[in-house]
Amino acid sequence: MAAVEVPRDEQAFLEYVQAGGQIETGDWMPEDYRAKLIKFIEMHGNSELMGVLPEREWILRAPTLQRKLALTAKVQDEVGHAQLIYRVVEDLGKPREQCLADLVSGKSKFHNVFHYPTRTWGDVGVIAWLVDAAAIISQKALLKCSYAPYARIMKKICWEESFHILHGRDVILALVTGTPEQFELVQEALNRWWGPLMQFHGNPIPRDEDPMWRWRIKSQGNEEARQQFLEGYVPQIRELGLEVPDPKLHRGEDGVWAYSEPDWDELRHVVTGHGPMTEERLAFRSGFLDREQWVRDAVLAA
Partner 1 sequence: MTQEVFEVFRQERKGRPFEHAGSVVAPDADFAEAWAREQYGRRGESAALWLVPRDAIRDVEDWADEFDLKYRRVDGYSIKTRLKEARERAAARPR
Query: Where along the sequence are the contacts to partner 1 (CB under 8 A)?
Result: 1-3, 26, 76-77, 80, 83-84, 87-88, 90-91, 149, 152-153, 156, 159-160, 299-302
Please identify, using beta-carbon distances, which residue of 2 and 60 lies nearer to partner 1.
2
Query: From CA 294, how far away is CA 285, in angstroms rounded?
Result: 16
Question: What H or E segment, with its residue span, contains residue 204?
Answer: none
Q: Where are the alpha helices (DSSP H) in the chain?
A: 10-18, 31-56, 65-91, 96-104, 121-126, 132-141, 148-176, 180-199, 211-214, 222-238, 264-269, 278-291, 293-301
Please identify, using beta-carbon distances, which residue of 85 and 134 lies nearer to partner 1.
85
Query: From CA 289, how far away is CA 261, in angstroms rounded?
Result: 39
Smallest distance from partner 1 to CB 87, Å: 6
Please identify, using beta-carbon distances, which residue of 83 and 139 lies nearer to partner 1.
83
Smallest distance from partner 1 to CB 2, Å: 5
Smallest distance from partner 1 to CB 301, Å: 7
Specify burial of residue 86 (Cβ count, 10 A radius: 0-12, 13-18, 19+).
Answer: buried
Cβ neighbour number for residue 67 with a 10 Å cutoff: 19
Please identify, using beta-carbon distances, which residue of 152 and 269 lies nearer to partner 1.
152
Please identify, using beta-carbon distances, which residue of 21 and 211 lies nearer to partner 1.
21
* Pairing state between β 257-258 and 250-251: antiparallel
Please identify, using beta-carbon distances, which residue of 82 and 237 lies nearer to partner 1.
82
User: Minimal CA–CA distance to 204: which of 151, 256, 143, 275?
Assistant: 256
Smallest distance from partner 1 to CB 67, Å: 19
Smallest distance from partner 1 to CB 84, Å: 6
Residue 66 contacts by C-beta under 8 Å, 6 or more apart in sequence?
Answer: none
User: Minimal CA–CA distance to 231: which of 211, 201, 215, 252?
Assistant: 252
Smallest distance from partner 1 to CB 75, Å: 13
Please identify, using beta-carbon distances, which residue of 29 and 175 lies nearer to partner 1.
29
Please identify, using beta-carbon distances, which residue of 153 and 249 lies nearer to partner 1.
153
Rg (CA), the chain: 20
Smallest distance from partner 1 to CB 139, Å: 15
Smallest distance from partner 1 to CB 26, Å: 7
DSSP 3-state assignment of 202? coil
Decide if 139 contacts 161 (C-beta within 8 A). Answer: yes
Decide if 36 contacts 210 (C-beta within 8 A). Answer: no
